[in-house]
Structure 1
């Protein structure tokens, strides 16, 4: 697990070692154990290493035996040993036992098809000196980040945006379209970022630079293929797929552990890890009733016999760390649990270098409560279109607060018109009030349904629940869930692995019919049945809690003065109607409305703007004190 950068000068002028070092040094938290670079005239590769596999031999950038193919790579390849064996049989000679070198020889063997053969999480750049080609790829689902930008004379690539901001010619400007999307989704959907001119390489895509021309194309895509088989087939298959995936994800030469919440996802991971080894588990919570999973997680840890560690987060500590953690995120992501995840990672980094977690289970196995909505609305959605439209028009005339109004309105719409992913912060009407720009007059503006329409189009043949899963995999999972997981663990120099987000696991999960995903009054039904013999009985039926963070409560009390002051002092008048923001904050404090998520979305953007655009708050390379102590002990 590491961080990488790459530079390609389109005018074929030499890459500056100083610029490359400045970009690479900003990734020291991702790789505190080692640093390296390789310059070849107009191409430069930079690297920071967190040593996980082949501690002595896995230094990067790394080359083949002839020195004409070089790689800088962030991630882990879980099938590298099988690939290595196959490549040796075909005559390739290895000088290390690292998964990194396996990619180099795989590229030699199959060329641009090499990402198709990789099972793992990865972002990498390969410099093919003979062909004068720079080639890169990002893993199937976007577990590892991959950013790129183009300036007047160069292309720059990296694991984090902050490195690209150090590349010569890169500007710090807000992308207006991204800001509008952020107000809807609480993150910026692929392939854009909040910075104008800086982009994400979409998951399942590769990128090629030759003679100064860049090409981006997919090498893999998400497909659901439900099969008509007995329920027992899916239960047994799910159990076996997860067992095999967890086994693969345990490959490392350093200490491992797992996050543990109150739900079935992380509990399943821990239970399967326990079949191989003793497990350290880590949980965080809060001291406010209803906002802590500590007690339940502790009970689960006792049942699973893990070596359990926990931490209670205070409002003061949360607020104290918030600015630096937004710096680590690169972009505003207004999910309060992202910051809480940092504290879990900080706790885990004191005891392990690798931690497993349960991200992806909800998207793959149908776990979000909102996925039950198509079943709840089935009597309405079976009505003729004209009748549903009439009911929706009637319901819209009812006063706010009337029971059943929202149900009728949502039932009058197709799933494509009512579901935009797991976060819908500001409605189109509210965006008109909070944004200072006349959105309708901006040619770059696109409504939420326009953003999701092209994704739904690719899923047009699926049932409504599968459409919702498909949308979340392409938006919420990659833009929020996996992004915060990577950035908050890497802020602590901790490698996160996600056994659910695995091509082989998805390959099987994609065959499960909806009737077995949403069934018996619950979600993830197949997964619950598959794991019930390994977990406490109450886990099977427990509803999904997410990762509750008391920002709604804090904004009324502990955070109120800070929030008001930030709104006043932030130089975001160009984007945000501050009068309306203050009105929402006051109404929230007085209990007149619950604007918690909306206010938090604005505050995170304002704080991000202070750090990256106004540059009023400065952070340099940061290494966790626990990682520093480990390095000192190793010396």
Structure 2
């Protein structure tokens, strides 16, 4: 895993300055602490910081070229079938100078051009320069495990693993996209469809960009195939699922450096550990966090049970209250406002794990494939979604208008908001109802949270745009299975925007490569073809995965209630965060910025600290925004 960046002045032909590529690369050095390199030739420049995982020799350095130096690549990721591809390419006469997966992509491109992407199995983001064609080729993996963003100015185009690299570009303007802020306040993260900075775009999963002949063109090279497994028996599906899981875990263990696995004690991570331990020649290192001071969120007993069963070298790290320092670092590494509190748990794990391993397997993705969230329960889905979209849109506009004139007391009543959500969802279109269940913060809070003048000037159409992003994916699933429609939407939205963004940014903050076996694209297609009735049934969520793992996991793990990778935010606020919260959410600060409603913010903070209600999620997301603003907007970076 690595950090990549580059520039191509295709509009002006001006030479790329070596100092710029060096500065952009060094901004990403945490992603690749094992070395850095660059390739600069006239109007193109590529930068790379290396995390050595496959072929640790000097031959694996990047940027890397073909034999005659006409093709150069800067690449971040892991290609799990590179050995098979290498053998095929050798038979076709290609000459290799290393044993890295990077060089495999170069020769695959020589053989197939941009169609090389169809042969790659793994996670990746790369920039490839084809000097003969004067073509810059940018690509991202099918699911969106690895990030890639880009920015255009009057000279050309720039790309990077993280948007903070663009802050080194003289022409870059830090103009905020307030609709992205609105979406963040709903979901605690910024979606793939936008960026907190207006001029930056994220390359979507399964897409590539070609910059050639004075133009920039985006193409989609992959979409999830609608595989119908409904004609198979449940036993056949379980057998197929086992085969897929064993295959992908074996492939994800390929490495020339020490490899471990996250272990929370839940079904997903325990499944990965069980299969990895059985396929690894030496003992597997496992890692988990404990919250001994808050038993309600502590899962260390279950993690220990699996570690003992599979004789892993188990490492436990107790989470302490160094909240302020950790949050500052998390905000810096996440690039955009990101208020998913489980990032803390990952932060502590990877900070400690980096001393022992360079590669870690994670159980991310199983919830989205096998229905692991309470919102997937069909009893909670909308049975009365008979209102037309036009009527719902007009109703929502009227409601939001009334909200802006309502007293703050309504919005300070969590029970009132809960009943408002339930009532509105009864009459909402199905996609709008599901979107509301996905949101961490109710959209019916937001008119009260924001400053009224700011809301009227910047956010009147923000909710419609946010719902449109979600609904576009919801409508794309043509299968009649409603549960799989929701899971497909999760894979396209929350999985990429939240889970994978968090995993990449936090793991790479410490130079550790995180791998996600559940998100092998063939397993994803197989899983989304399993009938929904086999996923959420009498056994609760992820029923089919539980049955597939019966030979590997004890009943205490298989049938325990889903816990979630949570941290005790409310306890932290009550114990150590009073002065810190009051500093960042002070009346003068909120008024001066002019984005949020200072009376509302003051009220929820006071109620949280007095124990009158739990507003920790809203307080935390506003706190993260204020800290992000100070770090990225007010400073000179």
TM-score (norm 1): 0.91
Deviation at 1:584? 1.1
1:560 to 578, 584, 590: 578
Deviation at 1:71? 0.4
Deviation at 1:426? 3.4
* Partner Cα distance (2:633, 2:387) in 1: 48
SS of the residue 2:191 aligns to: coil
2:281 equivalent to 1:275: no
C-alpha contact 1:303 1:536 (8 A) present in aligned 2: no
SS of the residue 1:311 aligns to: strand
Q: Report the CA distance shift for 1:576/1:258 in structure 2 as closer, same or farther (over 3 A).
A: same
C-alpha contact 2:344 2:567 (8 A) present in aligned 1: no
Q: Report the CA distance shift for 1:588/1:272 in structure 2 as closer, same or farther (over 3 A).
A: same
Query: Which residue number corresponds to residue 488 of structure 1?
Result: 506
* Partner Cα distance (2:348, 2:138) in 1: 32
Query: What do residues 302-331 of structure 1 show as CA deviations (whole Å, max 9, x unaligned)?
Result: 12211101011112x132221122101111
Q: Report the CA distance shift for 1:377/1:370 in structure 2 as closer, same or farther (over 3 A).
A: closer
2:203 equivalent to 1:201: yes
Query: Which residue number corresponds to residue 298 of structure 2?
Result: 292
Query: Which residue number corresponds to residue 239 of structure 1?
Result: 242
SS of the residue 2:94 aligns to: coil
C-alpha contact 2:436 2:443 (8 A) present in aligned 1: no
Q: Report the CA distance shift for 1:226/1:553 in structure 2 as closer, same or farther (over 3 A).
A: farther
Query: What do residues 581-629 of structure 1 show as CA deviations (whole Å, max 9, x unaligned)?
Result: 121111122232321111111111111111000118x7xxxxxxxxxxx
State how 1:211-222 maps to structure 2 within 5 Å.
211-222=213-224
Query: Which residue number corresponds to residue 311 of structure 1?
Result: 317
C-alpha contact 1:421 1:468 (8 A) present in aligned 2: no
C-alpha contact 1:415 1:464 (8 A) present in aligned 2: no
Gaps of 5+ in 1: 619-635
* Partner Cα distance (2:13, 2:437) in 1: 45
State how 1:573-584 maps to structure 2 within 5 Å.
573-584=593-604
Query: What do residues 325-379 of structure 1 show as CA deviations (whole Å, max 9, x unaligned)?
Result: 210111111101112201111121111111101011111122112101x23558x
SS of the residue 2:339 aligns to: coil
1:265 to 257, 264, 268: 268
Q: Report the CA distance shift for 1:421/1:465 in structure 2 as closer, same or farther (over 3 A).
A: farther
* Partner Cα distance (2:90, 2:414) in 1: 69
Gaps of 5+ in 2: 400-409
Query: Which residue number corresponds to residue 2 of structure 2?
Result: 2
Query: What do residues 176-222 of structure 1 show as CA deviations (whole Å, max 9, x unaligned)?
Result: 11111111111111121111211111111001101332111211112
Query: Which residue number corresponds to residue 357 of structure 2?
Result: 352
* Partner Cα distance (2:12, 2:340) in 1: 41
Deviation at 1:385? 6.7
2:496 equivalent to 1:478: yes
* Partner Cα distance (2:436, 2:484) in 1: 12
* Count of matched residue positions in the alignment of Structure 1 and Structure 2: 606
State how 1:359-438 maps to structure 2 within 5 Å.
359-372=364-377, 374-377=378-381, 380-381=383-384, 401=415, 410-420=425-435, 423-436=438-451, 437-438=453-454
C-alpha contact 1:304 1:535 (8 A) present in aligned 2: no
TM-score (norm 2): 0.91
Name which of structure 1's ranges 429-438 and 512-521 shifts more when overlaid on structure 2: 429-438
Deviation at 1:136? 1.1
Q: Report the CA distance shift for 1:311/1:303 in structure 2 as closer, same or farther (over 3 A).
A: same
* Partner Cα distance (1:167, 1:460) in 2: 43
2:341 to 330, 336, 339: 336
C-alpha contact 1:345 1:489 (8 A) present in aligned 2: yes
* Partner Cα distance (1:199, 1:400) in 2: 36
* Partner Cα distance (2:469, 2:203) in 1: 17
Query: Which residue number corresponds to residue 64 of structure 1?
Result: 66
SS of the residue 1:135 aligns to: strand
Query: What do residues 43-102 of structure 1 show as CA deviations (whole Å, max 9, x unaligned)?
Result: 000000010001102110001111101100000000111111111111111111110000
Q: Report the CA distance shift for 1:222/1:570 in structure 2 as closer, same or farther (over 3 A).
A: farther
Q: Report the CA distance shift for 1:384/1:187 in structure 2 as closer, same or farther (over 3 A).
A: closer
Query: What do residues 224-264 of structure 1 show as CA deviations (whole Å, max 9, x unaligned)?
Result: 43322100111111111011001111111000000100211
C-alpha contact 1:224 1:510 (8 A) present in aligned 2: yes
Name which of structure 1's ranges 425-434 and 132-141 shifts more when overlaid on structure 2: 425-434
SS of the residue 2:238 aligns to: helix
Q: Report the CA distance shift for 1:416/1:444 in structure 2 as closer, same or farther (over 3 A).
A: closer
State how 1:522-541 maps to structure 2 within 5 Å.
522-541=540-559
* Partner Cα distance (2:364, 2:79) in 1: 18
Deviation at 1:422? 6.4
Name which of structure 1's ranges 212-221 and 241-250 shifts more when overlaid on structure 2: 212-221
Deviation at 1:421? 7.0
C-alpha contact 1:422 1:476 (8 A) present in aligned 2: no
Deviation at 1:414? 3.8
1:500 to 518, 523, 527: 518
Query: Which residue number corresponds to residue 445 of structure 1?
Result: 462
C-alpha contact 2:209 2:218 (8 A) present in aligned 1: yes
Name which of structure 1's ranges 1-10 and 537-546 shifts more when overlaid on structure 2: 537-546
C-alpha contact 1:121 1:144 (8 A) present in aligned 2: yes
* Partner Cα distance (1:149, 1:384) in 2: 42
Deviation at 1:384? 7.2
* Partner Cα distance (1:578, 1:406) in 2: 24
State how 1:121-270 maps to structure 2 within 5 Å.
121-227=123-229, 228-270=231-273
2:630 to 592, 597, 610: 610
The alignment yields a C-alpha RMSD, in angstroms, of 2.4
* Partner Cα distance (2:437, 2:519) in 1: 18
* Partner Cα distance (1:192, 1:384) in 2: 31
C-alpha contact 2:290 2:300 (8 A) present in aligned 1: yes
Q: Report the CA distance shift for 1:408/1:2 in structure 2 as closer, same or farther (over 3 A).
A: same
C-alpha contact 2:345 2:566 (8 A) present in aligned 1: no
* Partner Cα distance (2:177, 2:496) in 1: 20
Q: Report the CA distance shift for 1:253/1:605 in structure 2 as closer, same or farther (over 3 A).
A: same
Deviation at 1:484? 0.7
Q: Report the CA distance shift for 1:336/1:458 in structure 2 as closer, same or farther (over 3 A).
A: same
Name which of structure 1's ranges 441-450 and 160-169 shifts more when overlaid on structure 2: 441-450
Query: Which residue number corresponds to residue 598 of structure 1?
Result: 618
SS of the residue 1:275 aligns to: helix
* Partner Cα distance (1:23, 1:400) in 2: 45
